[in-house]
Structure 1
Amino acid sequence: MTSAFLSALGGRIAERWLAALALPGLLFLAAFTTAMVLGHEHWSDLERLGAWLDTLAASPASRSAGTVALVALGVLAGAAVTGAAAQSLGTGVELLWCAEPHGPLLRYLADRRLCRWRAADTAFRTALVAAGRARIEGAEEADRLAGIAERHYADRGRIASAPPRHPFGMGDRLAAPGQRLWRAHRLELAAAWPHLWLLTADGTRAELQAARLRLTASARLCAWGVGYLVLALWWWPAALVGGVAVASGVRRGRAAAEAFAELTEALADLHMRDLAAALGVECEGVVDRVLGERLTRTLRKETEAA
């Protein structure tokens, strides 16, 4: 029984290692080798690449099983190291997406997003007033003006649903549930989250974990894209792969952050009464600011005692 369990566990670990590190790393090493052999001048010369491979195959070292085994181990180790580096860089990308506006560059990006949001908000409100005035006056262009207001509303929503505070949209999306719960119920999500997580069913946890893993995978995809963009300095076709990877990673990251934020807020909305019951906080059946303030005071007891 124990040996079967360890065998299954080892198989899962090997499968995950192969999917997350080895295969992407091998692809990157293949692209790196192609870049070094061809370069910009011979970027599409497959015959040149084939001749280089034939030269390697014809070398005396290629006939030694030990040498071949060492080379194979070296390639696998290089792929693993490359994958680990991409994973670390992906973690950095994820932290950057959620970063607070500390430092001149991040503050500049946050202020720039805020200026864009305010401009879009002003355009929306102006168009909305114009559409409302036209509707009251019975003007024929009321529908057209309403459509313009809807487009400006969508433009504002693409920047942020509320005045942005972070340099990147993912940070605002992930911070939005805590802000909305505080405004609506005076519940501090950071203090309540560990307790809500323990009260949550396994299926809900799995959904949240899946959304979180999708965000991490999106950041890692961006990291691979950055690697290919660097490789384009020696072989320009790598820029196409890098650009597609970065764009796809950002797009997937936005969707993952939105899904994770919505699931987080829904979990808090659905389990506030359960949290109150678990903590012994009186709840009259209505989720309001009074209940949220009681929960927040109860959860922050250590801070208040200090």
Structure 2
Amino acid sequence: MTSGFLSALGGRIAERWLAALALPGLLFLSAVTTAMVLGHEHWSDLERLRTWLDTLAGSPASRSAGTVVLVAAGVLAGAAVAGAAAQSLGTGLELLWCAEPHGPVLRYLADRRSRRWRAADATFRAALVAGGRARIEGADDADRLADIAERRYADRDRIGAVPPRHPFGMGDRLAAPGQRLWRAHRLDLAAAWPHLWLLASDGTRAELQAARLRLTASARLCAWGAGYLVLALWWWPAALAGVVAVASGVRRGRAAAEAFAELTEALADLHVRDVATALGIEHEGVDDRVLGERLTQLLRKEKRAA
């Protein structure tokens, strides 16, 4: 039974390694080889690439089993190294997406997003007032002004649902549940999170983990895209793959951050009273804000004592 479990676990690890690192690494190595053989001058010369492959296959070394094994091992090792590099770069990118505005560059980016949001908010409020006035007065263009106000709201919401505090939108989105729970219930989400996680059902945990993994995969996709953009210095068609990968990674990252934030906030809304029950805090007839303050005081004391 133990050997069967270990075999299944090893199979899953190998499958994940193959999907996450080896296959993208092999594809990248293929692109590197193509770039080195063709370059900018012969970027679309497939005949040149085929001739190079035929020459390589016809060399005496290719008939040696030992050479073939060494080359295959080298290719797999190169793919693994490329995959590990992309994974490390993706981790750094993920941390950057969620970074606090420390340092002059990140502070500048956060201030820039804040200025853009305030300008968009002022434009939205002006459009909202104009639409409301037109509707009260019964003007013919009231519906048109209402549509303009909706578009201005969407413009502001694309920058951020709340006033930005982070250099990048994903950082604000991931921080939004904690801010909202603090404003609405005076609940410290960071202090309550371990207790909420332990009380969550397996299905809820699986949904949260899936959203978190999608965010990591999105950052790794952007890292692969950066690698192809660098490769475009030698073979310009690689830039097309790089731009598509980076754009897709950013788009998927935003969707994953949105899903993770919504699930986090929903988990807190559904189980905050369960946490109170587990900790022995009376909550029947207690206002949510008062309950949140009690939980925050208790959990913060537990953390300090620990």
TM-score interval, normalised by the smaller of the two chains: over 0.9
* Residue in 1 that maps onto 2:125: 125
The question of whether the paired residues in 1 share the 8 Å contact of 2:191 and 2:303 is answered with no
* Residue in 2 that maps onto 1:219: 219
* Residue in 1 that maps onto 2:62: 62
The question of whether the paired residues in 2 share the 8 Å contact of 1:273 and 1:287 is answered with no
The question of whether the paired residues in 2 share the 8 Å contact of 1:272 and 1:287 is answered with no
- Aligned-residue CA RMSD (Å): 1.1
Counterpart CA distance in 1 for 2:37 and 2:116 is 46
| Shift of residue 80, structure 1, vs aligned partner | 0.5
* Residue in 2 that maps onto 1:111: 111
* Residue in 1 that maps onto 2:261: 261
Q: Which moved more, 1:178-187 or 1:6-15?
A: 6-15
Residue 172 of structure 1 pairs with residue 172 of structure 2? yes
Query: Partner amino acid for 2:16?
Result: R
Query: Partner amino acid for 2:188?
Result: E
1:263-292 deviations in whole A, cap 9, x for unaligned? Answer: 000000000110000111110245511000
| Shift of residue 2, structure 1, vs aligned partner | 2.1
| Shift of residue 14, structure 1, vs aligned partner | 0.9
The question of whether the paired residues in 2 share the 8 Å contact of 1:231 and 1:239 is answered with yes
* Residue in 2 that maps onto 1:288: 288
Query: Partner amino acid for 1:74?
Result: G
Counterpart CA distance in 2 for 1:148 and 1:9 is 56
The question of whether the paired residues in 2 share the 8 Å contact of 1:222 and 1:246 is answered with yes
Query: Partner amino acid for 1:3?
Result: S
* Residue in 2 that maps onto 1:83: 83
The question of whether the paired residues in 1 share the 8 Å contact of 2:225 and 2:242 is answered with yes
Number of residues paired by the alignment? Answer: 306
Q: Structure 1 pair 293/59, CA: closer, same or farther in 2 (3 Å)?
A: same
Query: Partner amino acid for 2:32?
Result: F
Counterpart CA distance in 1 for 2:232 and 2:285 is 61
Q: Structure 1 pair 299/287, CA: closer, same or farther in 2 (3 Å)?
A: same
1:111-148 deviations in whole A, cap 9, x for unaligned? Answer: 11111101100000000111111111111111111110
| SS of structure 2 residue aligned to 1:129 | helix
1:170-190 deviations in whole A, cap 9, x for unaligned? Answer: 000000000000000000000
Query: Partner amino acid for 1:75?
Result: V
Counting only pairs closer than 5 Å after superposition, residues 11-90 of structure 1 correspond to structure 2 as 11-90=11-90
Counterpart CA distance in 1 for 2:3 and 2:279 is 43
The question of whether the paired residues in 2 share the 8 Å contact of 1:160 and 1:172 is answered with yes
| SS of structure 2 residue aligned to 1:101 | coil
1:191-230 deviations in whole A, cap 9, x for unaligned? Answer: 0000100011111000000000000000000000000000
* Residue in 1 that maps onto 2:154: 154
Between the two proteins, what is the percent identity of the paired residues? Answer: 87
